[in-house]
Structure 1
Amino acid sequence: MSKALCCYAFETLLNKLNLEQTKVPLKSYFEAVHEDASKLPKSAPLFVTWNKNSQLRGCIGTFQSLAVEPGVAKFTVSSAFEDPRFAPIAAKEVADLEVDVTLLDRFQPISDYNDWSIGEHGLKISFELDSEYYSGTFLPSVAEEQNWDKPTTLYYLLKKADYPVSKKSTEEFYSTGLKEGWLKLTRYEGLKVHIAYGDFIAIRKSIVN
């Protein structure tokens, strides 16, 4: 993946918070970290994730394919300021932040709720019950980072979709839903890269100084 995209996320955040007067273009970051932009997809589904002191601080993205540069800029802003789970990121927090940019690929519907691998696949669930629609997703890194096994991941995926289910009935729920066809479970892969604020600043200084 690309450290340049993570640098561009931080650059976008600094400008949005008025912490920098000039904006370093993405092209300059590709040059600074010696990456070939042509090796990345021109468009992809993507997510931007902010962490502070190793704790989630915001994450928003899309499963629609977007042009990568404007897509990263768009979801940098929405994940930093519009994630309803968190207060907007403040300028005083920036030095403690880390950012992940994940480009998604290889979406595959699965009929077996165990047909995926921790650390390799993300999961997306959607279903409708009692005239209510539920959906949720976990990026490929989530289960591994949380030290979850498969049953635990599947349970928390339902909780993220805001569907009330007990942990002991989780696997039966998936089995029934997939067998009857009203539940859709999709696995997918992601190209993810991570950078901390200090590393970003060092790269930025190599460009602007």
Structure 2
Amino acid sequence: MATVEHCLFCFEALSASLEKRTPMTLYQVQSSWTAYPKGLDEEDDDDEQPELESFDSSPPSDNESGKPSSSVPVPRNPILERLFNSSSGSSTPASSSSSSLSPSTNNTTPSSSSTSFVPIGLHPRRTSQRSSNITESPLFITWNTISPSSSKSLRGCIGTFEPQPLSSGLSSYALTSALSDHRFNPITLRELPTLEVSVTLLTDFENAKDPMDWELGVHGIRISFYARNKRYGACYLPDVAPEQGWDKEETIVSLMRKAGWGGKREKWSEVGDLKVVRFQGMAESAGWEEYKQWRDWVKNGEQKNN
């Protein structure tokens, strides 16, 4: 499933493109996130007293070649290697696994620190056992604009149902969804501080027995049908219907509208050859502030070691 590192990598790809600089690789992002000091919120578990998640030195889940890393997460970038060595003297790098962060969780990140290495506890985010050994997957990248009141508005969303190597697919579709979604103007550099990115890796594709053979909050759906001798198709990710408060029929009709169908709502089931493919995928999200604090930490580490 998607991870925080995947989201940071999408921000890095877009930011670097707009700033005309060379982006970090996915492997470098994963390695630096492992070393990045992260505060831990209390986790809900079966014990009466919540405990802090234990620290370990597990390597990032995958690298650019798609092969698992060896026992110690040594970055290929010499600067990041020095960064690792600098931070390892005082504490063991935190686990890279983390759960979704979105405005609805009410988790906030404090303003950026002026020091190179911020102590553990100043970067709070809720963590979990989420991790990913996936090296390629169908994927969708969603950009949202976050208003001062924390409401979201879609800014771009494009993906693919064909498996992509994550090292290239995340970067490619992060840029495509940000700059080439025909429904919106390209995202600009000045907009970056208002953005949140969500990454969804898609799994478990199944042909539905009928248009209602799927579960709200579990499945995304991809439909195709004929109307007026024309083939239509569109898809919704698993979180769309619950966020909008739709039932199954409302979701199907909305999706048909999205595909370009203009018939009467009560006639939706009369279109020709209506097929539904259901799939699953849990999204992970990160906002600009979290990306910026992590990226400043990396930059400060680079400057300190130059």
Per the alignment, residue 256 of structure 2 pairs with 158
Q: Is the 8 A contact 2:227 2:261 kept in 1?
A: no
Could you state the TM-score of these two structures normalised by the residue count of structure 1?
0.90
Q: Is the 8 A contact 1:58 1:80 kept in 2?
A: yes
Are 1:36 and 2:67 an aligned pair? no
Per the alignment, residue 131 of structure 1 pairs with 229
- The one-letter code sitting in structure 1 at the alignment partner of 2:32 is A
* Offset at residue 44 of structure 1 (A): 0.9
Q: Larger Cα Rg: Structure 1 or Structure 2? A: 2
1:5-154 mapped onto 2 (5 Å cutoff) = 5-18=6-19, 21-34=21-34, 35-37=60-62, 38=68, 39-53=132-146, 54-154=152-252
* Offset at residue 128 of structure 1 (A): 2.8
Distance 2:165 2:61 in 1: 17
Q: Is the 8 A contact 1:158 1:165 kept in 2?
A: no
Q: Is the 8 A contact 2:25 2:167 kept in 1?
A: no
Q: Is the 8 A contact 2:226 2:232 kept in 1?
A: yes
Distance 2:14 2:193 in 1: 12
Distance 1:169 1:183 in 2: 12
CA pair 167-129 structure 1, distance change in 2 beyond 3 A: closer
Distance 2:33 2:245 in 1: 31
* Offset at residue 76 of structure 1 (A): 0.8
Q: Is the 8 A contact 2:210 2:275 kept in 1?
A: no
Q: Is the 8 A contact 1:42 1:68 kept in 2?
A: yes
- The one-letter code sitting in structure 1 at the alignment partner of 2:137 is A
Q: Which of 290, 296, 299 is equivalent to 1:205?
A: 296
* Offset at residue 22 of structure 1 (A): 4.4
Number of residue pairs aligned between Structure 1 and Structure 2: 201
Task: Note the residue ranges of structure 2 that are not aligned, 5 or more in a row.
Answer: 35-59, 63-67, 69-131, 147-151, 301-306
Q: Secondary structure at the match of 1:56?
A: strand
Which stretch shows the higher mean deviation, 35-44 or 136-145? 35-44
Distance 1:13 1:99 in 2: 11
Per the alignment, residue 191 of structure 1 pairs with 282
Distance 2:164 2:203 in 1: 12
Q: Is the 8 A contact 1:32 1:206 kept in 2?
A: no
Distance 2:243 2:33 in 1: 26
Could you state the TM-score of these two structures normalised by the residue count of structure 2?
0.62
Q: Higher strand fraction: Structure 1 or Structure 2?
A: 1
- The one-letter code sitting in structure 2 at the alignment partner of 1:44 is S
Two-structure CA RMSD over aligned residues (Å): 1.6
Distance 1:57 1:11 in 2: 17
Q: Higher helix fraction: Structure 1 or Structure 2?
A: 1
Q: Is the 8 A contact 1:28 1:207 kept in 2?
A: no
- The one-letter code sitting in structure 2 at the alignment partner of 1:167 is R
* Offset at residue 41 of structure 1 (A): 1.6
- The one-letter code sitting in structure 1 at the alignment partner of 2:8 is C
Identity %: 34
